[in-house]
């Protein structure tokens, strides 16, 4: 399995509005990001995701987070979304997204959930909430997972601790409130994005 972006950091723009999305996503791409998820509990997510696919779909992997139902997957496919991120392990959602040609990063916490997600066709796993388990837990979990499966740490990842997650075998991370909080200005998004990119490059060099 391979991850399909140059930078394995997923920007999570929870709570963003359609009016704000373009400027923030533009700032992320300028910093080097090429994977963006807009969670489905954000305002008017259909408009935001559709607009971002139209504006940036050729430059980045644009998609949705907090995807819970197969019907949501179908709507995302209509919008041109290419990424589905789930908070849980729901085989029906994973199978539907894979069938629609999307990249699926499935949320899981245990070995049983991880293998259930892989059996359903998920191409990547997110360990959530990572901060509650710690790097040692992910290192132990990685020992039983197929080596080629991309694993992302999500929850509590900061520029200061990103290297710890990478050192235990995570390919990258999903970045939420330390990158973007609903209502923040674009300048902060740009600063945090640059800090995360710098931390990632320093960790893998």
For the annotated catalytic residues, the residue numbers are: 37, 126
**How crowded is residue 171: how many other Cβ atoms within 10 Å of its Cβ?**
19
What secondary structure, in 3-state letters, does the chain show?
A: CCCCCCCCEEEECCCCCHHHHHHHHHHHHHHCCCEEEEECCCCCHHHHHHHHHHHHCCCCEEEEECCCCHHHHHHHHHHCCCEEECCCCCHHHHHHHHHCCCEEEEEECCHHHHHHHHHHCCCEEEECCHHHHCHHHHHHHHCCCCCCCCEEEECCCCCCCHHHHHHCCCCEEEECCCCCCCCCCHHHHHHHHHHHHHHHHHHHC
């Amino acid at each position: 399995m391979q991850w399909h972006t140059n930078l394995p950091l997923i920007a999570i723009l929870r709570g963003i509005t359609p009016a704000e999305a373009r400027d923030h996503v533009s700032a992320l791409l300028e910093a080097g990001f090429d994977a963006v998820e807009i969670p489905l509990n954000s305002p008017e997510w259909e408009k935001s995701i559709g607009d971002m696919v139209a504006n940036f779909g050729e430059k980045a992997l644009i998609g949705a987070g907090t995807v819970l139902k197969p019907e949501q997957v179908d709507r995302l496919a209509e919008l041109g979304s290419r990424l589905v991120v789930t908070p849980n392990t729901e085989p029906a959602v994973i199978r539907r997204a894979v069938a629609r040609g999307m990249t699926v990063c499935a949320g899981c916490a245990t070995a049983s959930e991880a293998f259930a997600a892989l059996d359903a066709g998920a191409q990547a796993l997110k360990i959530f909430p990572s901060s509650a388990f710690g790097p040692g837990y992910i290192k132990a979990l990685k020992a039983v997972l197929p080596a080629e499966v991309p694993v992302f740490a999500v929850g509590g990842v900061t520029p200061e601790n990103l290297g710890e997650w990478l050192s235990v075998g995570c390919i990258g991370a999903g970045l939420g409130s330390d990158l973007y909080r609903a209502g923040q200005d674009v300048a902060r998004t740009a600063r945090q994005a640059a800090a995360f990119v710098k931390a990632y490059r320093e960790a893998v060099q």
